[in-house]
Structure 1
Amino acid sequence: MTDLIRLNRRLLLGTALAAPALISRPARAAGEVIVRTPGGTYDDVMRRHVYEPFTRETGIVVRPVAATASKLIAMFRANNVELDLIDTGDGQLLTLERMGALAPIAYDKWKWSKAEDIIPEVRNERRVANFVYCTVLAYNKDHFAGGAPNSWAEFWDAGKFPGPRMLADMASGSPNLEFALLADGVPKDRIYPIDVDRALKSLDRIRPQIRRFWDTGAMSAQMLSDKEVVAGSIWNGRLQVLIDRGAPLAYTWNEHMIQVQALGVFKDAQNAQGAQLLIDYMLQPEVQAKYSKDLIYGPTNNRAFPLLTEEERARAPGSPTSRQTGFFQNSVWWEDNRDRVNRTWSRWVQR
């Protein structure tokens, strides 16, 4: 599942996705839930493990479509909501929630899943995560045969661990300000609110070793694969695909950043009841275990982890061990500060 995260993040910039156009109101079929999804491989996985079994169980047809963040906002403002369920990055759902566009998640109506089994950090009143992914510190095993960096402070130590590096650009969704603070000695539980000036001063120290700030998952994977860089931040799904293909790459779970893909229901949805039912079905442990395994990301139902193999659990973000060694990105802080950081980053990166 290699294109999912890039597509989600590009929504922030209003990038259109390649998938069928949204269905107009007159074309709505009875017993149908229309879902905004990232498209591509993601739809194939969800169709196999969620949509088709859900239809067999309930008789409700699931129709995935594409929509940019701006399209979702526009249809709400125009009072012309053309879909029911939104499956996207947590930050984008938070924007819609603050506009008053989302209905409460009907936790009390669930029959397949239990609200108390969902990881508390991703269970909110009007949005709930269906999986988590993460950004990790990856490195080339051949280059660091004598010992690799195991923390962001060591990544910043180019004297002890020499070689060209990469980090994320603002265009990827957010630059790696959190890692810059960790490298500067800030504890994981004190990262937020982010001291942007301190983070940029920390980045000043490592910038001479940064070959490029990547803006897409494809770019980060290509730079590591081509040995253009020997270490850097990368989304775990992108990296795992390279490892599975035999690339001499590895990563540390220490200080990884856990990020969230979530679900929300438009409060004016034509089939809000069906959308709520689909959330319930999607989050049950047996179903989550299946699609999380294929996506190479982590389930959000704690009861799904025992259904994975030991190897699958070891590479799934969001597990109890992952939550101890990593930290959740604070989407509320980023939505509150994105415009300010974007302006500041643009000035800094062009210096």
Structure 2
Amino acid sequence: MFKKVLLAGIISAATLFAAACGGGGSEETSSGGGKSDTLVVVDWGGAVTEARQDTIFKPFEEKFDVKIQVESPTDYGKLKAMVEGGNVTWDVVNIDTFWGEQAGEQGLLEPIDYEIVSKENIVPEMLNEYSVGAEMYSSVIAYNTDKFAEGEHPQTWEEFWDTEKFPGARGLYNDPLETLEIALLADGVKPEELYPLDVDRAFESLDKLAAKTEIVWWDAGAQPVELLSSGTVTVSTAWNGRITEAKKEGAPVELHYNQATLSSESWAVPKGSKNKELAMEFINFATSAEVQAAFSETIDYSPVNEKAIELLPEEVQARLGQSPELAESQVIMDPMYWAENYEEISQRLQEWHLKQ
């Protein structure tokens, strides 16, 4: 139900998370140069899009007297073809934050109009030239509750690397983004000193873990739950929503938010959108505190609006890892660093795999 998709390079073909449900529709644009009565919003589909229907899309339609036409999934290749072909039918697209800065530099996205989009209370890392954060999610220490009792599981990435005290195979996300941050935290790097990443040290840290135990590399968000539930691994990195959902369904899994890394997705406007101003109004609306709080109560993604966190019940704050004590222990990843370095480091990770 919950997703994260990372794509290498501006010309990547679209991918979607496993639970995505289709959603294409007819193309609608404004006629006669006037304001369109339809805003085309492109999202990944599945549970995240369903959560937006009542908390973002319908309230926006009512406030602005327009119809939101939802298309899914997000397709970077299609966006690129639209812009380069001069036939843009999309208005707002949900994207990976770091990809947005790559795309903007290559002329595929409109700069965000901060005369319309308010910066007030938005997490600074979520305010970029070509995108504004939509939601955040945590990469956490997840563990099998049959193997480790409450309080007796790894609670830091250094302990995640300690296979003598906490035996068993480990699960890691097969992507450099978040995995290298975690490897450096495990090696003693302080969160405030992570960037720019010491890439050599990160791979040396991975070498140390690989020498001690089996690493099972996962590619899709559902896999850590499967790996943990089956006992294939005793501890794994995982996206928080996947674990909280599996826990509700009775899976023997739990998570720990200490030192979790926060990733994000963002809203962006394709270059040449025929409804650019309305698209900016949508982004402003979707990132407002009240709307963000309503969305985060519905699905386990964290708000990018810090004021929204205060509006959430304490139980929801804790579930999202956004209670004051839990939020302080998490690390927001730097999308600008990854916009500049993702492809190079991704290639190095693939080369590292070949040597194992």
Q: 2:6 aligns with which of 6, 9, 24?
A: 9
Where does residue 40 of structure 1 map in the other structure?
46
Aligned counterparts of 2:131 and 2:302: Cα–Cα separation in 1:
17
Aligned counterparts of 1:4 and 1:149: Cα–Cα separation in 2:
24
The change in CA–CA distance for 1:26 and 1:258 in structure 2 (over 3 A counts) is closer
- CA shift at 1:349, angstroms? 0.9
The question of 1:89 aligning with 2:96 is answered: yes
Where does residue 316 of structure 2 map in the other structure?
312
Aligned counterparts of 1:161 and 1:108: Cα–Cα separation in 2:
52
Aligned counterparts of 1:227 and 1:347: Cα–Cα separation in 2:
28
Aligned counterparts of 2:315 and 2:28: Cα–Cα separation in 1:
46
Task: Structure 1 unaligned segments of length 5 or more: list them.
Answer: none
Partner secondary structure for residue 107 of structure 2: coil
The change in CA–CA distance for 1:310 and 1:320 in structure 2 (over 3 A counts) is closer
Maintained 8 Å contact 2:83/2:271: no
Partner secondary structure for residue 202 of structure 2: helix
Maintained 8 Å contact 1:134/1:235: yes
- 1:46-85 maps to which residues of 2 (within 5 A)? 46-66=52-72, 67-85=74-92
What's the Cα RMSD here?
2.3
- 1:1-351 maps to which residues of 2 (within 5 A)? 2-5=1-4, 8-9=5-6, 14-17=13-16, 19-21=22-24, 23-24=26-27, 30-66=36-72, 67-109=74-116, 114-145=118-149, 147-170=152-175, 174=177, 176-207=179-210, 208-317=212-321, 320-351=324-355
Partner secondary structure for residue 148 of structure 1: coil
Partner secondary structure for residue 269 of structure 2: strand
TM (norm. structure 1) is 0.90
Maintained 8 Å contact 1:33/1:62: yes
Maintained 8 Å contact 1:181/1:202: yes
The change in CA–CA distance for 1:26 and 1:144 in structure 2 (over 3 A counts) is closer
Maintained 8 Å contact 1:35/1:83: yes
Partner secondary structure for residue 138 of structure 1: strand
The change in CA–CA distance for 1:325 and 1:16 in structure 2 (over 3 A counts) is closer
Amino acid at match of 2:165: K
- CA shift at 1:175, angstroms? 6.1
Aligned residues with identical type, % of pairs = 31
The change in CA–CA distance for 1:142 and 1:16 in structure 2 (over 3 A counts) is closer
Q: Say which structure is richer in helix.
A: 1
